[in-house]
Structure 1
Amino acid sequence: MPQADPVIIGAPKVLKPGEQVFLNCTSDFSLPPSEINWYIDEELQKPEMWQKTEVTGNQPGGLRRSWRVLRVRVPPTASGAMRVRCESILQVDPPVVRDANTIITIHSRTQLSKYVSNSGTKVVNTVVLIATILLLTYNEISRFTSL
């Protein structure tokens, strides 16, 4: 029987839409070795062909540790948070299930159009800024030369 919950490795606290990350879930030693399932927001993730549960070689007493990788791709329109859960199942009667959870915050991309004015206003703002700098510089120079 596993003595501890599985461990999730590689989970960042924050991801951006469009990013991807690889997570690893490792179970504790057991006999037989555990099967591992991944869930995102309580939805079972179907493994890709190369994402199967792997096991270590036999340890003293025949104990083996299991692990499985999950590729998480954040959809381009995602925002909020993503709850990722790793479940370790020991196939005995009755089955023994242990799990680990992590929350990944998804920062949505800022819509620049909300903060950037159109190009015509941008040119006017630049001219006003340059004129203000020149006026302040002229005033400072005049102040020192009149002393």
Structure 2
Amino acid sequence: MTVLLVFGLFVVIATAHNITFLEVPRYGDPYRDANLNCHYINEKDDPDLHSVKWYRGNHEIFRYTPGQQPPTRTFNSTAGGVTRGSCNQHSCAISVVLPKAINTRISFTCEVSTEGPRFAVVKQTKNLTVAVVLKEDPIITGMPGSVQFGEEVPLNCTTSPAMPPANIVWYVDGKAERREPWMVNHTQVSHPDEFGLRTSWRSLRVRVNTPRGYMAVRCEATQPIWPPFVRSTNATLVVARSPHLSMFTASGINPAVSQVSVLVMTVTLHIFSKYSALSEI
């Protein structure tokens, strides 16, 4: 960053290091420290690095000043302090304690400044939401090897433990399951485990009514946090063909018409066989 300051006939150029990347996880487990990292570079004519500061909201929680001894300093915070810090001329990493309140949103800022006389400053901010997100995609159970046209298939979708628990929605051939207006949410939630995490599950009875040879189903689990955390699983129901009607259905003939055709062919063959037997007498 370059700023031109004009005082009379003098031009003073104040430059700061550039922050190339700020690593702040989007979600943080309340039972684990969150690891943050700030990466920065200096241009050829930049002054030396003066300090790197970390802020939690508006409160400074950590400072790295390479020209001082000791070079690092932590600041007390009622919301949770810094447990570890490791910094150098190009990066500064810290680990912070997170609050236990789920869905708490915290902003972390990395501020980098260069030596005087102007002490130019550059900063970046990212947000972290406290939550135990789903570690795996949901699991679909009850999938048969194949199904028949008109058959009703019971399926179930289950998530891994998380907090807050996920809401589950089923999709059949890309469309959300049909629900009555009074059906707010049929997702079932378990009791909390020893860590306070809950498992979600939801059942679906899907009727096979497609003329195609398959039906696509998808289970989508969404945790109600900001931004929402989503995991999903896809599966395919294979629709078996009737062996007696396959030659008609393959040609696109209506199954009802094909049944009449089979009946006509059967009667014709019976009459023909009877006539042939009479002609031999």
Q: Using CA pairs under 8 Å that are at least 6 residues apart, name the structure with larger relative contact order, 1 or 2.
A: 1
Find the counterpart in structure 2 of residue 79 from structure 1.
212
Q: Distance in 2 between matches of 1:6 and 1:61?
A: 20
Correspondence for 1:14? 146
Deviations 1:16-75 (A, max 9, x none): 1111011000011000110000001110113465x7100111101110000000110112
Confirm or deny that 1:92 pairs with 2:225: yes
Assess if the C-alpha contact under 8 Å between 2:208 and 2:215 holds in 1: no
Structure with a larger share of its residues in strand: 2
Q: Quick check: 1:9–1:23 contact (8 Å CA) kept in 2? A: yes
Per the TM alignment, residue 10 of structure 1 is displaced from its structure 2 partner at its CA by 0.4
Q: 1:90 to 1:115 in 2, by over 3 A?
A: same
CA distance in 2, matches of 1:52, 1:87: 13
Q: Partners of 1:57 and 1:127 in 2: how far apart? A: 76
Aligned amino acid, residue 93 of structure 1: W
- Supply the distance in 2 between the matched residues of 1:113 and 1:79 (Cα, whole angstroms): 22
One-letter code aligned to 1:13: G
- CA RMSD of superposed structures (Å): 2.6
Match of 2:270 in 1: 122
Query: Following the alignment from structure 1 to structure 2, what is the Cα–Cα distance between the partners of residues 10 and 26?
Result: 11
Could you tell me which amino acid in structure 2 is paired with residue 32 of structure 1?
A: P
1:91 Cα deviation after fit: 1.0
Runs of 4+ in 1 over 4 A off after TM superposition: 112-116
How many residues align? The count is 129
C-alpha displacement of 1:15: 1.3
**Max radius of gyration: which structure?**
2
Whichever residue aligns with residue 196 of structure 2, its letter is G
Alignment gaps of 5+ in structure 1: 131-147
Contact map agreement 1:79 1:108 (CA 8 A) in 2: no
So what's the TM-score if we normalise by structure 2?
A: 0.41
Please list every run of 5 or more consecutive structure 2 residues that lacks an aligned counterpart in the other structure: 1-132, 246-257
Q: 1:61 aligned to 184, 190, 195, which one?
A: 195
Q: In the TM superposition, what whole-angstrom CA distance separates every residue of 1:86-111 from its partner, at most 9, and x where no partner exists? A: 00101111111001111112234424
Aligned CA distance change for structure 1 residues 58 and 126 (closer, same or farther; 3 Å): farther
- Mapped partners of 2:217, 2:179: distance in 1: 14
Normalization by structure 1: what TM-score?
Answer: 0.75
Identify, as 1 or 2, the structure richer in helix: 1
Aligned-residue sequence identity (percent) comes to 35
- AA aligned opposite 1:52: H
**Aligned with 1:122: secondary structure?**
helix
The one-letter amino acid paired with 2:206 is V
